[in-house]
Every structure is written in C-alpha cells, then in structure tokens.
Chains A and B, each alone.
Chain A
Amino acid sequence: MKELLWLIVTLPFAGALILAFGGRKFPHAVSAIIGVGSVSLSAILTLLVGFEFLGDTTPFLQVAWQWFDVYGLSPDIAFRLDTVSLIFIFIITFVGALIHLYSAEFMWKDEGFVRFFVFMNLFIGLMLILVLADNLLLLYLGWEGVGLCSYLLIGYWYKDPKNGYAARKAFIVTRIGDAALAVSFYILFMTFNTLNIQDILTAAPGTWSLGSGIAMATAFLLLGGAVGKSAQLPLQTWLPDAMAAPSPVSALLHAATMVTAGVYLIARTHVLFEIAPTAQHTVAIIGAATLIIAGMSALYQHDIKKVLAYSTISQIGYMFLALGLGAWSAALFHFMIHAFFKALLFLGAGAVISVMRDEHNMFKMGGLWKKLPIIFWTFLIASASLSALPLITAGYYSKDKIIWLAFASDKGSVGLWLAAIVGAFITALYTFRMVFLTFFGKPHAEPTHRPGWMITIPLMVLAFFSFAGGFIELPQNMGNLTLVSDFVEKTLPVATLSVLQPFTELIFQIISSIVAIGAVFLAYILFFNKPFPAAEPQRNAVQRFFFKGWDFDLLYDKVIVTPMIFLAMINKKDIIDQFYTGLACITRQLNALLSATQNGQLRWYAMVVAAGAIIILTIIFFP
C-alpha cells in the first residue's frame, strides 16, 4: 500500500483538473462528487497507507522523477513519509474531506460552485506536497502554492472590493515571510550544496558549530517564513482579514492547511533550530507573546468568525511555544487536536451564519441552542476542547502538556508558563463568551432553516474527535499513555525535562484546570442571559485598541505603507523611467511618420517607386 503514496497527492490535483476543464458542463451533483470524492479517496488511501506504516515506521521515500539537474542542484519530485508527515497528511486529507463534504451543501447555491472546488482541491494537493516533500525546493513549491490558493479563496467572492483587499493583504504579508524563507534556502544550498532535507539535517550539526552566526541567521530566516505563514507576531495581521473567505475555506485554512505550514516547517528543520538556541528561544517567546496578544483581541470582537480567527492565532502561538521549548511532540499533538476542534468551530459558525441570513454579529444572535441542537452541542464540545476544560476534552490533554512543559522543560521558564496559563484563562473566557452570546440569552432573530446532513455529519465526526482525540496521549499521572509522543519521537527528538517530580506536575494540572473552569465561570457571570443591545457597542479607547488587534494595522500603515507611498510619489518621474518613456516616445513618433506613407493611394506608391528608381539610377550613373 505504501507505493500508493503518490496517489494521495495526485488525486486532489486530478479532481481540480477535471473540474477546471469540464466543470461547467457537469451538473452540480457530478461536480460535487468529483470535488468531494477526490479528497475523500485521498483520505481513505491515507488511512490504508497509515495503517501499514504503523507496522513498520521506517521512513519511506518515493521518487517520482528528477525535477531538473543544474550545476549540482538536482531536486527530485520525491515524497518522504515519516511519522511527522503522516500526522500532517492524515489531518489534511481527513479534516479536508469532511470540510469538502460540508462545502458541498454550504456552497450549493453559489454561482462559483465549480470554481470553489477547483481551488479547494488544489489547496489540499499543494499542502500535501508541502508536507511530503523530501527536498526544500519541492516544499517551497507547496509553500507558495498554498499561498496562492489562500489568495484565490480569501478573495473568492471577488465582487466585493473588501474581499479582494483581504486577499491581497494575505498574499503580500505572507510574502514577506516567504522572501526570508527563500534567502534561508540560498544559505542552506550554498553551505551544503544540496536541498535535500535529510542530508541537510544530517550534515548541519557537523558543519555549523552551536550558536554560530550563520546557523543563527538561517534559523531566524526560517522562522521568518514560518511566522508569515502561521500568522504569528509580527506578521499576524493578515489572518483576521482573511475571514472574508467563505466559512469552509476558513475552516480549511485554519485547521488543516496554510497556517500550520509554519509549525510543520520548524518541526521539519528542528536540527537547525537546535544548533541555534537563541532562535529557538525566540520561537518560544514569539509564541507566548502572540497567544496573549491574539487572545486579548479575541475578547473584544463581536464578529463570531473574527473571534475564531484570533483564537487560531493564539492557538498556533501555543504550538510555537511548544516548538520553542523543544517539545516537538506536544506541538504536533496540539496541532492535531486543534485541527479537529477549530475546523468544527468554523464549520459550526459558518452554519450559524448561513441560517441567520449572513449575520456575523454575535450580539444579534442569541437563544439558538434550542433551535439548532446539533450545531449547538457540537459547537459546545469544540468550545470546551478549545477552552481545555479538564479531563473530558481533548484540548485539555494537548494544551496542558504545553503549559506543563513551558515550566518543566529545560528551555522553559516561569515567564513562559505565566504567559501560557494567562493565555489559557483568556482562551476559555472568550470562547464561552462566544458560546453564551450565540446560543443563550434572548433570541434576536429566527434561523431560516435547519442545515442538512452534509453539514451535520462533518460536525458530528469532528465533535467525536475533539472529544476523544485526547485520550491517545495522557499525562504520566493519569494513565501515562504516550501514543502520539512515541510516534512523533521516532522522527523528532524527545523534550528534555528539568523538573521531574510527578507531584509538581499534579499541582500544575490542578492550577490549569482551575484557571479554565474559573474563566468559564467568569464568562457565565458576565455574559450568560445578559440583555445586550444588538447594536454595535460603543467602545472606549482601550477596547478599540484590542478590537483592532492591538492596532498593528495602524502601526504598519504609519511605519511602512505611508513612507513607501510617499517615496513612490516623490520618485514618480525618476530618471530611469524617463529614459524608457523617451524610447517609447521616439518609437511612437517614427511609427507615425512611417504609417503616414501607407495612405492607400496607388498613385502615391507609384510616385515613391519612381522617385526611388530615379535616386538609385542617379547613384549608379553618377557615383
């Protein structure tokens, strides 16, 4: 079965191609079957390949062909399956397939139905290339590809200029990170003369000494790329605007593809971060700072999707924190659980928005729990998971592991632990604020209809995993089950602990449990059944600051965009441009001169021929 690895990648591309060329002629149902079916088949194949791989976890390399061979740079189109990429392709195809099924109903009446599925399939395919690539160049192809697809999908409803703006913003902001990433690839190729990931990881510790300048530079540039794609500080500004996309796109973007690419990149190149301790420490600090900043912003949003957007930034912050601590398996475990509950939250929010006539404002919803029971219960499970309610939710096991390691890891500190625990408090608070505002209280509007089975089935499947997914990895004092860490640690190193007493861990678990429950209780006091005005609330300066995402947009506008526009304005007629304008001008004048002779008058032509003959004869006879 392992030999079918290439088919997992190819199927979504095949679906995209068939739909792109034949989609207009197919009936809606056929397009939906092709779009959903291709990804679902990929998911089934992934399960089959995964089961065989569980038996024999030696990495499996499949070379399709050599891409090109220029001056020693000879990357292959080759897919490498190891435990890390298996976790990623499982999430991408499995969650991706559920989101596709959901979109088949969600987008049914949209005029761009086929176009939507073309982009979605392409998105999945390119993300699979990204995580399966065995060399950095192929990884970069997938990396840029998901950037392109996110641009296409965020601006999917392109008739509204706002969506186009959001799409361009996402593309340009992530591009800053991509440029840094490309530079790091140049450095790696210059040093190791190859772009093969395994070769680089093997050679790096011997070539670069611990903490040397070039190792630092490379790690920081890689981090720049990861920060851009994963929407971390300081390049996080594109993600809240990306909410312009249809809800299934947001689910895909936040759970399975795109934003997790940065996490994957750092995990994949972990050796380069281990020989650059400062860079790795920076990863942890960026994660900790981002999770608090984004959490505070989420607390002041009124748009349900914006809450989820900031919550994604904040949860990816947890993953970065774990990566920075060297807790690779904890980061990937949280990635996995986060993919389940965040996809579910977005799909649930999308369903709510669509039955409320495109109403995004939580203050205008209220009281939906009786009318939309399936959405409510699944949404509640995902929210509990996101808030990391102790013992019963998957999010507890994944997030608590990171919080514990923030203190206990040899790279951890009290500061990082405090950030993580405060972040957990904020997370639970804004999550249940969202739940109480949307589903409880006085109803402000009636839902138009109940969603069909294609929407509810993905919700229920994801709800099951958001609940049960955590039990495959339990802390050592609660069963000590380590399926995920054992699996991941076949590829990535083990986190080293400086604190080892089980008793300390218990105290920290109790603290984080109390924090989560306390935050939910606070949300209950503040937001449960409270009569809020449906209109946009008045905000004072501080609230507006948080609402706008700490005014990063304003800052970048003042510091970067305005000076750039100013420079462009004063340099509008620069000398180099003048030269080219002059060339164009001369060409145009010559053209006018010559085209004047082509006047269509036969006698004029005859005259010119006669005159020419006379001149030539004169030259011949009187040289």
Chain B
Amino acid sequence: MNIPMEYGLLLAVILFCIGLAGLLIRRNIIFMLLCIEIMLNAAGVAFVVAGAAWGQAEGQVMFIFILAMAAAEVSVGLALIIQLFKQTGSLDVTNANKMKG
C-alpha cells in the first residue's frame, strides 16, 4: 500500500499545529509538556514519511534520535514540574513568573 507523501506531511503539519496551539492555550504545565510531545512526534512523522518516500533509512534513524531526546526531555520536564508544584502549590505556569524583575 502506498500513501502519497503529501498526506503524510499534511498529517505531520496538522499534528504540529495542534501541539503548538495546545502549548499556547493551555495553562496546565502537564498539558503543555504533552503538547510538546505531540509537536516532537509530528516532526518524527515528517521524517519517517520523507524517508519512506525517498526509500532512505535516515528518516527512521532520525526518529530514533527524536525518541531518545523526547525521553530525556520528559524526565527533565517532569522534574521541573514537581519542583514547580512544590514551590507554587499549583501547576499553573502563569504563577511561575516570580523572577520577573
């Protein structure tokens, strides 16, 4: 079965836009983290689709890299979330502007 590259890329764009919109709209920091994951995966889909279209392996290699990076990002992000919750008592990022000079 052969899906045209345009469909795959359109999916990636839609996913990326959903993720970006969520990042900008949501205040809950956990949902923001999830939205970043969506954006990363959208980028991953774009790589895989391009790799499949040109019959190259680099697209999937790139996706492995993205997975690894996402894992690292989530671990750091979750640690930051825990800290934020300890410091402010909520998960609302608008409360995290205490360093504003």
Given A602-B32, A603-B23, check contact A595 B96 (CB 8 Å): no
Greatest chain B CB density within 10 A among A599, A606, A607, A610 is at A606
CA distance A599 to B94 in the complex (A): 10
Contact of A600 (CB < 8 Å), options: B23, B32, B98: B98
Greatest chain B CB density within 10 A among A598, A600, A607 is at A600
Given A606-B24, A610-B24, check contact A601 B93 (CB 8 Å): yes
Identify 21 residue pairs between A and B in the complex whose beta-carbon atoms are under 8 Å apart, listed by A's number. Answer: A595-B101, A598-B100, A598-B101, A599-B97, A599-B100, A600-B96, A600-B97, A600-B98, A601-B93, A601-B94, A601-B97, A602-B29, A602-B32, A602-B96, A603-B27, A603-B93, A603-B94, A606-B23, A606-B24, A607-B24, A610-B24
CA distance A44 to B96 in the complex (A): 72
CB pair A603 B97 closer than 8 Å: no
A599 — which chain B residues lie within 8 A by C-beta?
97, 100
B29-64 contacts to A, CB under 8 A, are 29, 32
A569-623 contacts to B, CB under 8 A, are 595, 598-603, 606-607, 610
**Residues of chain B whose beta carbon lies under 8 Å from any beta carbon of chain A:** 20, 23-24, 27, 29, 32, 93-94, 96-101
CA distance A414 to B62 in the complex (A): 110
CB distance from B21 to the nearest CB of A (A): 10
CB distance from A314 to the nearest CB of B (A): 64
CA distance A610 to B24 in the complex (A): 9
B29 — which chain A residues lie within 8 A by C-beta?
602
A607 — which chain B residues lie within 8 A by C-beta?
24
B32 — which chain A residues lie within 8 A by C-beta?
602-603
CB distance from B45 to the nearest CB of A (A): 18
B93 — which chain A residues lie within 8 A by C-beta?
601-603
Q: Identify the 6 closest CB pairs spanning chains A and B, nearest first.
A: A600-B97, A600-B100, A602-B93, A606-B23, A607-B24, A601-B97
CA distance A143 to B98 in the complex (A): 56
A600-B100, A603-B93, A606-B23 provided; 14 other pairs, C-beta below 8 A?
A595-B101, A598-B101, A599-B97, A600-B96, A600-B97, A600-B98, A600-B99, A602-B96, A603-B23, A603-B27, A603-B32, A606-B24, A610-B20, A610-B24
**Residues of chain A whose beta carbon lies under 8 Å from any beta carbon of chain B:** 595, 598-603, 606-607, 610
CA distance A598 to B97 in the complex (A): 10
CB pair B96 A603 closer than 8 Å: no
CB distance from B38 to the nearest CB of A (A): 14
B20 — which chain A residues lie within 8 A by C-beta?
610
CA distance A223 to B20 in the complex (A): 82
CB distance from B84 to the nearest CB of A (A): 10
By beta carbon, the residue of chain A nearest B99 is A600
CB distance from B25 to the nearest CB of A (A): 8
B96 — which chain A residues lie within 8 A by C-beta?
600, 602
By beta carbon, the residue of chain B nearest A602 is B93
CA distance A603 to B94 in the complex (A): 8
CB distance from A607 to the nearest CB of B (A): 6
A602 — which chain B residues lie within 8 A by C-beta?
29, 32, 93, 96
CB distance from A505 to the nearest CB of B (A): 85
CA distance A602 to B27 in the complex (A): 9
B98 — which chain A residues lie within 8 A by C-beta?
600
A598 — which chain B residues lie within 8 A by C-beta?
100-101
CA distance A607 to B96 in the complex (A): 16
CA distance A602 to B96 in the complex (A): 8
CA distance A599 to B101 in the complex (A): 8
B27 — which chain A residues lie within 8 A by C-beta?
603
CB pair A603 B101 closer than 8 Å: no
B101 — which chain A residues lie within 8 A by C-beta?
595, 598
A595 — which chain B residues lie within 8 A by C-beta?
101
By beta carbon, the residue of chain B nearest A603 is B24
A603 — which chain B residues lie within 8 A by C-beta?
23-24, 27, 32, 93-94
CA distance A598 to B100 in the complex (A): 7
B23 — which chain A residues lie within 8 A by C-beta?
603, 606
By beta carbon, the residue of chain B nearest A600 is B97
CB distance from A617 to the nearest CB of B (A): 12
CB distance from B55 to the nearest CB of A (A): 26
CA distance A601 to B99 in the complex (A): 10
CA distance A606 to B27 in the complex (A): 12
By beta carbon, the residue of chain A nearest B94 is A601
CA distance A110 to B11 in the complex (A): 86
CB distance from A132 to the nearest CB of B (A): 56
By beta carbon, the residue of chain B nearest A601 is B97
CA distance A607 to B29 in the complex (A): 15
